[in-house]
Amino acid sequence: MIDGIVFDKDGTLFDFRISWGRWAEDFLAGLARDRAHHAAMAEAIGYLPAERSFRPDSVVIAATAADIAAALLPHLPDHDLTSLRATIDEAAAGVTMSEAVPLVPLFTALRARGLRLGIATNDSEAPARAHLEAHGLTGLLDFIAGYDSGYGPKPGPGMCQAFAASQGLDPARVFMVGDSLHDLEAGRAAGMRTLAVLTGIATAGDLAPMAEAVLPNIGAIPALLDGISG
């Protein structure tokens, strides 16, 4: 039986390339002095402007706003780490996110099964809440945490453990769902079962060794749950 699901956000609820490609293009354009400066910053964070996508090792995929700021800081001598992180969070909060699947119907259906639902993201909590609220999800969630919420970032287990503890759940009866190895490692470290989705940058081959199942997107979760309970 499964009693709860904790989701990653970017690349899981929202299509990573579309959503964060928009952020990277607009954010770097606002900071760049010229084309060479833009190219240097794009390289530093693993962004591929011509493709509006990211390298598999991009710091944007699974790291934090502080990590992104640290990668960009050598190219922005007029900034400090704290102010640059705040600038990143402000820009991120305003990004128009592209849903991987229609989210409100899915989360409504999952709650109707009696499941407790949470978010554990390496995004900062404030922009994460802005994205979730913009898509009508806040009232459908029992737990929301970012890397700066006090539980540490993934792949550490802190956010996953906090979700289970806050809801009184046995971690062995919880799925952690994500699009990166950081997500799956965090779930496993917390004693949870893990599901991978392909709406991020990682491939099925990357994720399969750490996941109970690799799904095209989170819309496939209800059918998987039916199979478990059937």
pLDDT digits (tens, 9 = 90+) for 36-94: 999 999 999 999 999 989 999 999 988 899 999 999 999 999 999 999 999 999 998 88
Write out the residue limits of the CATH 3.40.50.1000 domain(s) in the chain. Answer: 4-15+97-229
* Mean pLDDT, range 174-195, rounded to an integer: 98
Please identify which residue in the block is written with the tokens 């402007």.
49
In the prediction, which pLDDT does 95 show? 87
CA dist 107 and 158 (Å) reads: 23
Burial grade of 134 (CB within 10 A; 0-12, 13-18, 19 or more): middle
* Mean pLDDT, range 97-116, rounded to an integer: 97
Cα–Cα distances (Å) from 174 to 1, 5, 48, 125, in that order, read 9, 5, 36, 22
User: Is the pLDDT assigned to residue 229 strictly greater than 70?
Assistant: no
CA dist 10 and 199 (Å) reads: 9
User: Between 56 and 217, whose confidence is greater?
Assistant: 217
Burial grade of 17 (CB within 10 A; 0-12, 13-18, 19 or more): middle
Confidence of residue 228 (pLDDT cuts 50, 70, 90): confident
Q: For 142-177, what is each residue's pLDDT tens digit?
A: 999 999 999 999 999 999 999 999 999 999 999 999
Cα–Cα distances (Å) from 25 to 41, 84, 190, in that order, read 11, 16, 35
Dihedrals φ, ψ of 4, to 5°? -160, 160
In the prediction, which pLDDT does 206 show? 95
pTM for this model (two decimals): 0.89
CATH architecture of 4-15+97-229: 3-Layer(aba) Sandwich (3.40)
Please identify which residue in the block is written with the tokens 């962004």.
47
**Amino acid identity, position 25:** E
Q: Which element (helix H / strand E) includes 11?
A: none
In the prediction, which pLDDT does 138 show? 97
